[in-house]
Structures are given as structure tokens and as C-alpha cells.
Amino acid sequence: MENLIELDKKHFIHPTSSIQQQQEKGAKVIFEQGEGIYLTDKNGNAYIDAMSSLWNVNIGHGRKELAEAAAKQMEKLAFSSAFSTFSHEPAIKLAEKIASIAPGHLNAVFFTSGGSESNDSAIKLVRHYWRIQDQPNRRKIISLKRGYHGVAAGSTSATGIPEFWGMAGHMMTDFTHAESPYESSTEQAIASLRQVIEADGAEKVAAVLVEPVQGAGGVLIPPDDYLQEVKNVCEEYGVLFILDEVITGFGRTGKMFGMENWGVVPDMITFAKGVTSGYFPLGGVVVSDHIHEVLKEKSKGTLFHGFTYSGHPAAAAVGLRNIEIIEQENLVENSRKMGSFMLEGFRKLKGNLDIVGEVRAVGLLGAVELVQDPVTNKHFSPDLQVAAQVIEALHERGVICRAVSYGDSDIICFAPPIIIDENQVNTMLEKLHDSILTVQKQLGVAF
């Protein structure tokens, strides 16, 4: 164990982590095993994985069926190319399956290895769509403040959390951000969107890219009419509409895709994470019949965009089996039911604790805000790091989840595996109650 921590410090540069903290304190946990909603570390401590790790382990840990699907495919054909129109059965079947479960006209799939690659691919595909229709000036991508779309060049630029732009000193040109509907009303957010579209002329805008629920921004659920209004505005200005379903896809929100909660179908979606429940890196873009028709008719010669692992056979086999399990075990319905149950529990916490502000959830994607005064919604000073303290208290009680501290807001996010049952939700909520109470007392806000 000691040795592993030293080796980790010496050789492992962690993603989205503090290098300083790693060097001072060592790796926080070295996980060894997963089973259902639980993770176990090398010392035998068990934790509830209340975030499905990175919002992705939808069907839970330790599913032998997925290991078997990968092994079977690897023994038969671990890899072959999908470039230059070479093909193979797993990718064809997964593309067909995704087309069959995606709503409306979303029927053709481009595969990637994850969410960032998916959003970069969507950005390039929409620009290509305009170029082959003699509108090369339509390059601008409009996304939302507090939106998160990944860390590749285009997806970092589309991300609306400034810390991500600072890391390497700049972002790409032709990206702008409109107001999120979260801290304003639908009218204000739509007015901001119109303003951003019109800023340099709508004829320069390629697409609007938003998450159905802003995940990493703090599980920000839009007002009911917001997404339809965005779609209306896109249609009015003749701009393409892309929904980033990377977190919200594959049952997370109590529907197969997040957009179904609001009855909105865009021109394109991006997906990743839950498509394989994290058992294999896989993502992709699904485009509408109309876009596919334009590509078929006007995209001449080679489409100069493709990853070595676009449509990886083993990843595709795992994705297919994963979606089969979601369907056979009615996990979308379970996500909806357990999501309502979790939200009820959050509301009870709000009644019993003094520092709980807004609580929200759609399916098993939820958040609890911590505030100094729930009546006026006065936030704590960021120096107090209240959300981080609650995360630490949860950790001590065997629950792993994640805090978002954006500006001065303290938000605890929840996205447990969608196989979770009532008893397990109750255990998670009890531990949350104890953790918040402990921090509340430490803060001297005890009553």
C-alpha cells in the first residue's frame, strides 16, 4: 500500500486533480473492487458510489455480463478498422440500437471514445455541414455559462466554466456563452441567447450546444419551457441545435435520454459515459435524418475526421449488452422511481436541517445546496468551503460524492447507479443527514 502511494506520486499524473495535494497527501483512495452501488478500497473499506464514479457507472459495478461481452468479442475480433468504409458487426448493431432508442429523427451515429471527443466531433460535423452547403462563415458555437462539455480543444472552448480555459492560457475563437437559465428566468436566458446569436450576425452561427441538465455546473435543471424555447430560437435563426446527453443519456434522468423529460428533439446529440456504464471507453454523436441526408448528398471525398477507436468492436459489444441490461431490468423506470424517492428524502432533509437550501432531482440526477440562510438563500463565504467539508464528512461515513463550488454556491451532487433500491437510497440519505448535521454544528449554525 505504502509503495503504491509512493509510486502514484512518482509516476501518475491524475486527471482533474490537484498535483500539489497528491504530492502532499498521496492518493485519496486506492480502489480495488466494485459490486453494485459499492466500491471497496485496498484496506477493505466499502463506500457507496453516490456519483456512479464519474456519472457513468449506470448499471453498477461488477456486472459479469459486461466482462463476458468484452471477453467474447476480444477473443473473436478485438480490433479492426472502421476507416475507409471497413466495418464490423458490433459497431453496426450498436449504431442501429442507439438509433432505435433515440427519439424522433436521430438515426445515424458517429462513434468516439468519450464525451470530449464526441463534442469536438459534433462541433466539426456542424461546421462541415455548413461548409458543404456553401456557408463556411457559419462557425460560431454558442453554449451556456456553467456548461461542461469536456477538455479537448473544441469542448474546452464550449465549456462555460472559466477555470477550464485558464489551464493552458486560452480558448479557441468562434465560441461564445449565453446565460444559463438557472440563475435567471427562461425569458432572460432566451433573451441572452438571442443577443449572443445576433452579436456578429446569425449567419455566422453554426450551432447552439447545451446540456439538458447542466451536470458539472451543479446539476442545474432547466425551467420546463427552456429547452423548447431554445429549439424555437434555433429554428427561427436557422441554427443547428445540439444536446449534450453525455451525463443525461441511458437512463440517468428517469428517461432513456434527458431530452425526453421535456419532449424536445434536437438536430444532433452527443453521448458517452452510460452507453457502456463505464466498462469500456465509448461515446458518439447521433445526427438527424436531415443532416445525414445532407452529408450523403454533399460531403464529397473522404470525411477527414475519425479516431482509431471510432466504433471499437469490444466497446460496441459492451455497449450493446449494457443497453440490453438497462432494458431487460427496467432500469429507466427504476431511475425514475428511485429518483422521486431520493428527492422526497432531500426535501425531508431540508425540513430537518438548517443549512439546506434548494434541493432538486430529475431521475437519479440530483443536488442539495448548502446555504447560510435558506429563507434569503444567502450563501456561505467560499473561504469556509462548506461543500468540501460535507464531502469529507460523507467520505468518513463511507459515501463518495462530489461538490461543486461555483462562485459562492455550495452544491452536493448525487447520481448513484440506477440499480439502487429504496433501502440503499435511505442509507445514503441517513449518511447525508449526519454529515450535514456535523458540519452545521462545526459551523456554529446549530440550533
**Contacting positions for ligand PMP (CB under 6 A):** 54, 114-116, 119, 148-150, 211, 215-216, 244, 246-247, 272
Q: Left (φ > 0), alpha (ψ -120 to 50) or beta: where does 238 sit?
A: left
Closer residue to ligand PMP in complex, CB, 176/276: 276
State the residue number with the nearest CB to ligand PMP.
115
Q: Other CB atoms closer than 10 Å to residue 3's CB: what's the count? A: 7
Among 15, 55, 311, which residue's Cα sits nearest to residue 151?
A: 15
Say how far apart CA 319 and CA 294 lie, in whole Å: 28
Whether residue 239 contacts residue 207, with contact meaning beta carbons closer than 8 Å, is answered with: yes
Q: Is 201 exposed, middle or buried (0-12, 13-18, 19+ CB in 10 A)?
A: exposed
Whether residue 312 contacts residue 336, with contact meaning beta carbons closer than 8 Å, is answered with: no
N-term to C-term CA, the chain: 43
Say how far apart CA 408 and CA 385 lie, in whole Å: 9
Closer residue to ligand PMP in complex, CB, 115/357: 115
| Cα distances (Å, whole numbers) of residue 376 to 78, 182, 433, 439 | 58, 17, 22, 20
* Residue 216 Cβ vs ligand PMP, minimum distance, rounded to whole Å: 5
Reported as type and span, the H/E element at residue 389 is helix 386-396
Reported as type and span, the H/E element at residue 425 is helix 422-442
- Running DSSP on this structure, what letter comes out for residue 190? H
Closer residue to ligand PMP in complex, CB, 251/345: 251
Helical H segments across 285-403, by residue range: 289-298, 313-328, 331-352, 386-396
Closer residue to ligand PMP in complex, CB, 158/343: 158
Among 247, 241, 217, which residue's Cα sits nearest to residue 115?
A: 247
Residues 6+ apart with CB under 8 A from 304: none
Say how far apart CA 315 and CA 189 lie, in whole Å: 38
CA angle 162-168-174, nearest 5°? 60
| Beta pairing class for 283-288 and 268-271 | antiparallel
Among 129, 339, 138, 123, which residue's Cα sits nearest to residue 242?
A: 123
* Residue 270 Cβ vs ligand PMP, minimum distance, rounded to whole Å: 7
C-alpha of 408 from chain center: 22
